[in-house]
Amino acid sequence: MKFEELSRQIDIQGQVSRRAFTKSTVALAIAYAAMRPAKDLLAQPNRRKTLAYVGTDTSPVDGTANGKGIYLFEMDPVTGELSQTKLVAQSFNPTWLTLHPSGKFLYAGNEVSDIDGKNGSVSAFAIDRTTGGLGFLNAVSSQGAGPAHLSIDATGKFAFVANYFGGNIAVLPILPNGSLGSAVDVHQDTGHLGSVDATDAPHGSFAISGHDAPHAHMIHPDPMNKFVLQTDLGQDRIYVYKFDVNTGKLMPADSPFISLPTGDGPRHFAFHPNGKWMYSIQEEASTVVFFLYDSGTGALGPQQTVPTLPIGFTGTNFCSEIMLSLDGRFLYAANRFHNSITVFAVGGDGRLDHIDNTMTLGDYPSQFNIDPGGNFLYACNQRSDQITSFRIDRVTGKLAFTGQYTPVGTPLCIVFLT
């Protein structure tokens, strides 16, 4: 298959479910609120607009697939409402999106396994700042199967990709026109695997996921752009690499990794605005771990582990996303099956106190994001084909449903551009 074909939507067969346990779920009956007509992005020229891009499943990876590619919305900064404008790119399973620091380019991880042999790919798009439209630039191999996460270094010169099924990571150069070059570095996770059952899972949990092989799940540079961190769910490890900003090469840090309890499955992480604290969410254990982060060495020191679920919860849950409020006073964590967003207060020492669990009013929140103004949280409810929005109380951190359901087929990721 040629990369030029990535701009067209085709049916991709033979995808393996990431979690056989969750192949089938009960569909929620959600009454969608009627959407107002899409706005003309050229209207109200004096008003600063916030655009939202949503990536979707177009071929089954983890459940059903009702998406067609990448969708464009406009966000109302007062009400939080999303007005759909159009499908702006037909792309294979663009399940993770990230924006270039310049705001001129968007990149999509194509979570497939049959491009260029057994690899997935990363697609690059130029953004039309007037209309929000996307112009396909190119696509390159991700150097591993099933890319699940993508990030950009602070200089905008390199993209990092974590390949879930391939169990490896790659560094892709970003050319001056925004297109991508072939990988300048690839690292394969090998060796140690965690246990099938999570150490810290809730009582009665059958949250058995990816401990059959290494599974790179997230990769992101630290706030100083000096180190790059990567989770491997199958190995229950967070890897730390020294980053050469000139060549894009990654070298293991002096402390090359830290291990989480066996079977717990670290998925995503988030840095506090102060750059000294980091929080990791464990997919199978339904926990958040608070670390002290040494920005000089990249070392992580675990300080606290807290559950994401209410006291007394029993049964199965898979965590997904984790994010801090813009001011760093609150931390949010998503639960799939429990279908909630957990709210924590961040103490003066970085420790977490549970505040609330807010139901997402949808099924299987695989990702969420906070708008650039810090006033709204948007949950991508993968299996109920909609995004729900919540107003953030900037004093208490709690979430209040706006009453708005935005329909979109199998939403996996939402990013914002102002």
Inside any domain, residue 40: no
Inside any domain, residue 382: no
Write out the residue range of the structural domain in which residue 343 sits. 189-359
Output the pTM of the full model: 0.89
| Contact predicate 415/97, CB 8 Å | yes
User: If you average pLDDT over residues 24-44, what whole number do you get?
Assistant: 36
| 255 and 352 belong to one structural domain | yes
Inside any domain, residue 372: no
User: If you average pLDDT over residues 392-415, what whole number do you get?
Assistant: 97
| 249 and 173 belong to one structural domain | no
User: 209 vs 106, 215, 234, 313, CA distance in Å?
Assistant: 30, 10, 8, 20
- Higher local confidence (pLDDT), 401 or 30: 401
User: If you average pLDDT over residues 43-59, what whole number do you get?
Assistant: 79
Which amino acid, 334? A
| Contact predicate 21/38, CB 8 Å | no
User: If you average pLDDT over residues 163-187, what whole number do you get?
Assistant: 98
**Distance of alpha carbon 41 from alpha carbon 404, whole angstroms:** 21
Q: Which pLDDT score, from 0 to 100, does residue 60 have?
A: 83
Inside any domain, residue 398: no
CATH of the domain at 148: 2.130.10.10
| 64 and 115 belong to one structural domain | yes
User: If you average pLDDT over residues 192-197, what whole number do you get?
Assistant: 92
Q: pLDDT digits over 106-115, tens only?
A: 999 999 988 7
| Contact predicate 324/281, CB 8 Å | no
Which amino acid, 28? L
Q: pLDDT digits over 268-327, tens only?
A: 999 999 999 999 999 999 999 999 999 999 999 999 999 999 999 999 999 999 999 999
Residue ending a domain, choose from 359, 379, 402:
359
Q: Specify the DSSP class assigned to residue 3.
A: G
| 180 and 193 belong to one structural domain | no
Q: How many CB atoms lie within 10 A of CB 102?
A: 10
| 164 and 59 belong to one structural domain | yes
| 245 and 329 belong to one structural domain | yes
Inside any domain, residue 402: no
How many domains is the chain built from?
Answer: 2
Residues facing 356 on adjacent strands: 343
| 232 and 141 belong to one structural domain | no
| 59 and 167 belong to one structural domain | yes
Q: Which pLDDT score, from 0 to 100, does residue 64 have?
A: 84
| 183 and 194 belong to one structural domain | no
Residue ending a domain, choose from 316, 332, 359:
359
Q: pLDDT digits over 120-140, tens only?
A: 999 999 999 999 999 999 999
Inside any domain, residue 68: yes
The burial class, CB within 10 Å (0-12 / 13-18 / 19+), for 407 is middle
- Of 58, 171, 101, whose CA–CA distance to 411 is shortest? 58
Average pLDDT over the chain, rounded to an integer: 90
Inside any domain, residue 403: no
| 239 and 324 belong to one structural domain | yes
Inside any domain, residue 393: no
| 165 and 203 belong to one structural domain | no
| Contact predicate 282/198, CB 8 Å | yes
| 347 and 214 belong to one structural domain | yes
